[in-house]
Chain A
Amino acid sequence: MRKSIRVTAVVSALLVLSACGTRIQGGQSSDASSGPNAKPLVYWGKWAKGTPQATLFESIIADYAKQTGVKVDVQWLGKAQEEQIKNAIATGEGPDFFDTAIDHTAEFRAAGALGDMSAVFKAKIPGENATIEEVLPKSVLKAISDDKGYGFVPHSVFSVGLWYDAARYPDFATTPPKTFEDFLAVAGKEKAAGRRPIALDGTVNSYNAFWLYQLLLSTAGPGALRQLAEDPAAWDRPEVKRAVTALETLVKAGLFQPDYMATKFPDAQNAWAAGDHTFNLNGTWLGSETASLRTPAVKARIIALPPVDASKGSAVTIGALGWGVNPKSKSQQAVTSFLAFAMQKKYIDRIATDADNIPSRTDSPAPEALTSIQESIRTATAVSLDFDGVATVAPKWFNDVFLPLDDKLVGGSIDAGKFLAEGKAQTAELGE
């Protein structure tokens, strides 16, 4: 027994010493390809087989093989594939390219799973006389970048906005409520008529937080939430107080469906799709997510949440999905060639027509319900990541301080004053 303890101790010590103060990772990837026909490219995707995205990408892969002779071996890993990809790349067994999203750039960077993408973005798209970089809106390029450059090649973009029923409010597309207060007045009229106008799956705390974050964007601009995470003094800013007070007004007006903090997701969004409620502040994905449940009478459309101050336009929140490239891949040239091929307009257009999402390219039209938000993305001068990217860089603050307090504020169990005081105190406590 003593011997086995000694053996265990030695093995553990070796493991630990090899890890000390260094990156724990494997060797270089062995999937060398000397030419386009040498070895198939390996692609790990997050989509389930049969989903519109998987079907579209498989057809791109088939077309690419037909035209170039280069095969792409795709493995659909499903959601939460990020750990597998990071570990595989760290041990030299990773794919040549893989599905990723803005939310995962920080963790992939930290794990050395993303490299310099500048050559990829300078690649010419076949038959278009334009590079990948040139066909993407500046706002999207900004959103997918960090201090090391572009993170991945985006094929779909997302945002957050106010979904409404255009059958009830046909004028909203051209003349939306000018301010948040105007929106509350519209919703208040519905409530007075005996209808709860806003649907909210309150058990999904990030959906609750959409409200405060969009209001903060409107009053304090991008980066305000990040400041709240990093500096307790930021909780005293008047702009922050204004956004929090606006949310408190919404909560006190009783405009959400009854017992909204206790709904089992996706009950509230399904009820919205069925026409029981008019509004839902949510991601641009809500339309495709609820399409099969939508009552024909409901005409779902999305606009930006009206700003607190009409003279101060809000920044646009941008999320994106796309393809990251393994920096250890020996087939960088072949991957670049494939991604340029996949970014052709005829394929990216199908992100809208087949998958009901907003295509990343400037010239690819969005589904009708999303055109307003796509226009906001195209013309945006100020952009923000989802929740300022705080969820990825300060997950503890986001999960343990912000989301629980925001839930209480949205649920009405604390008021604006208590929210600000608690937020400041807990942020200071976490930073000590």
Chain B
Amino acid sequence: MVADTVARPAARRGRATADGGALHVERRRLYLPLLLPALIAYLLFFVVPSIFGVVLSFAEWSGLGTEFSWVGVANYAELLSSRMFLSSFLNTVLLTLVVGVALFLIAVAAMVALRTARAGAFIRSAVFLPFMISPIAVGLAVSFLFNPKGMVNTVLGLAGLDALRQPWLGPELIFRVIMAGVVWSAAGFYVVLVMSAVDGIPPSLYEVARIEGAGLIQQFRYVTLPLTRDMIATAAALWAIAGIKTFEIVIAFVGTAGTPPPEARTLAVEQYLRVTGGRIGGMAQLGQAAAIGVVMTAITVVLIVLSRRIQRRDRLEWS
């Protein structure tokens, strides 16, 4: 009813020369000069530094002017035996999965509710707002809200819910509070992303569904979900990348005066500590930091591939 399966065009690489006329020859001549600047910039500013990062992960180095020496796979072996790395690894995976599920549920709720809500545009803007706030402002907000004498505990006290007052920023709760903060901060972006796909669905499809007796949930299941699947997959991939790299918001919550506690460390935070050597002037461990970077990239690739696989199916279009 709503979609046709679109097959991918066959690959045409290698046939152009045989097919080309004068215009094609001109295009071929222009191809390299036009491509070259971007290619050089890409090589210099992305490929070479990336390769250097991988190379560095097999070395010990503290920055320009210091000794550079090869250590083979010692940095990776050290990471695998480091309880701090393993704990930050687990924290990162947990944050990516838990927050990812929360973001998905919020996005689904938005797709169901905001499409027809009167104040949909306003709610969308309001939800998007935290995404635009700088981590510094988030840090200030955190101190105002979650400090032992902050607003959250004060309000709970005023409401007679003293039993619920907690040391929110203490080691036991800090990671849960950070995850809630990430959801609060990132939800708007993903809601706007998926809603842009929902907005592109012709209203007539919903009219037909309504006439056929479909409720809101059924409309979501049989109209919205199939036609936004690609955008959801994109959002999942973007979240996998962002989740693995979670950094600023942790720093915003724990502050910069001390070293983030193990309970709040993500891989990016652990990498930052090894790049800087800690807060009190330690020597940088760039080889280990690079190894963490390689691990983060590998996890990101795995998560993206997994999310694409889960979402894989024929592309749907409406006509």
Contact = CB atoms under 8 A, between A and B. Distances in A.
Contact of A107 (B43, B62, B83, B149): B62
Contacts of A408: 171
B82 interface: yes
Interface of A: 4, 7-9, 11-12, 15-16, 19-26, 82-83, 86-87, 89-91, 101, 103-104, 106-107, 110-113, 201-207, 258-259, 261-267, 386-387, 391-393, 395-396, 398-400, 403-404, 407-408, 411, 413, 426, 429, 432
Given A395-B277, A396-B285, A400-B82, A263 B147 contact: yes
A387 B259 CA distance: 15
A26 B257 CA distance: 34
B147 A11 contact: no
Given A205-B259, A259-B148, A392 B65 contact: no
A407 B258 CA distance: 11
Given A103-B281, A395-B278, A407-B261, A111 B254 contact: no
Nearest to A22: B68
Contacts of A398: 278, 280, 282
Scoring B65, B69, B83, B254 by chain A CB atoms within 10 A of each residue's CB, the highest score goes to B65
A393 B278 CA distance: 11
B273 interface: yes
A426 B43 CA distance: 43
Contact of A395 (B48, B173, B262, B283): B283
Contact of A25 (B64, B69, B168): B64
Interface residues of B, number: 54
Contacts of A263: 147-148, 169
A20 B63 contact: no
A101 B55 contact: no
Given A21-B68, A87-B63, A258-B148, A16 B55 contact: yes
Contacts of B277: 107, 392, 395
Contact of B66 (A7, A23, A104): A23
Interface of B: 39, 43, 47-48, 51-52, 55, 59, 61-70, 81-84, 142-143, 146-150, 167-171, 173-174, 254-255, 257-259, 261-262, 273-274, 277-285
A9 B73 CA distance: 20
A104 B167 CA distance: 35
Contacts of A101: 281
Contacts of B83: 400, 426, 429
B280 A201 contact: no
A107 B284 contact: yes
B280 to A, nearest CB: 4
A158 to B, nearest CB: 13
Given A107-B284, A262-B170, A86 B255 contact: no
A160 to B, nearest CB: 13
22 contacts: A8-B43, A15-B52, A20-B68, A23-B66, A87-B64, A90-B64, A107-B284, A203-B169, A203-B254, A206-B259, A262-B170, A264-B255, A265-B258, A267-B149, A387-B280, A391-B278, A391-B282, A392-B280, A393-B283, A395-B277, A399-B84, A413-B171
Nearest to A15: B52
A202 B147 CA distance: 12
A12 B51 contact: yes
Nearest to B145: A264
A200 to B, nearest CB: 12
B157 to A, nearest CB: 13
Contacts of A106: 281, 283
A267 B143 contact: yes
Contacts of B68: 19-24
A293 to B, nearest CB: 15
Nearest to B255: A265
Nearest to B168: A262
Contacts of B173: 262
Given A91-B64, A265-B255, A82 B281 contact: yes
B65 A25 contact: yes
Contacts of A386: 280
A259 B167 contact: yes
Contacts of A201: 257
Nearest to A207: B258
B65 A259 contact: no
Contact of B48 (A12, A89, A261): A12
Given A23-B68, A203-B261, A262-B174, 7 more contacts: A106-B281, A261-B167, A263-B147, A264-B142, A395-B277, A407-B261, A408-B171
B284 to A, nearest CB: 7
Contact of B281 (A9, A12, A107, A204): A107
Contacts of B82: 400
A404 B258 CA distance: 11
Contacts of B150: 264
A110 B69 CA distance: 14
Contact of A24 (B65, B167, B254): B65
Nearest to B44: A11
Contacts of B171: 261, 407-408, 411, 413
Contacts of A26: 64
Nearest to A202: B170
Given A25-B64, A398-B282, A404 B261 contact: yes
Nearest to A408: B171
Nearest to B260: A205
Contacts of A396: 274, 285
Contacts of B259: 205-206, 399, 403
Contacts of A258: 148
A112 B65 contact: yes
Given A110-B62, A111-B62, A7 B43 contact: yes
